[in-house]
Structure 1
């Protein structure tokens, strides 16, 4: 590894990194062991260099295709799905309340869920 001094800057810049070193840095970033910023600071290289290596070793590393972004998108979709299921279940319980009565339903449901059902019943009755 050769060391070069960038003119007008006190920071040392390195050229000629080995394939193994680049891969090691990228794996640490992709595995979530460190951020690109931290890797750049730790190894004394620019964040752009680390980002470039990440894209070189993992083409899916683009801003919209970052593994964490994909996971966040999946989790948001799951939350939406669960909220929809919750709404359906609350609607069904509100309908059940109409058939069996409020007191009977209250016996079998947790207090918080019962309160949410009452809000749903009150909202639907308007």
Structure 2
């Protein structure tokens, strides 16, 4: 359903479904990632009125737990987007960052109220 691309790397289409409406990509060596492109593969459209909120996660320097930052969204009408993540990363960690997707109603996506609870 989704793909992501980091410059200089192969396209990733191996999103892991962690809930019925949540998917994550593990992007190793995230310290060297400045932008990420997220796109729909075109094989499975969102249901009418739905879209996907895109989140970036990195380890919290204090607790080590995930910190989720909303980047934006994709929909059937806007099936791809490029996001700058270079200013969002905290610390120098070798664990991979996660890129998460949550299926939401389009009206919720535009209001930025969709919440990711992936862990």
The structure whose RCO (Cα within 8 Å, separation 6+) is larger is: 2
| The structure with more radius of gyration | 1
Q: TM-score, normalised by structure 2?
A: 0.24
Q: TM-score, normalised by structure 1?
A: 0.23
More strand by proportion, 1 or 2?
A: 2
More helix by proportion, 1 or 2?
A: 1
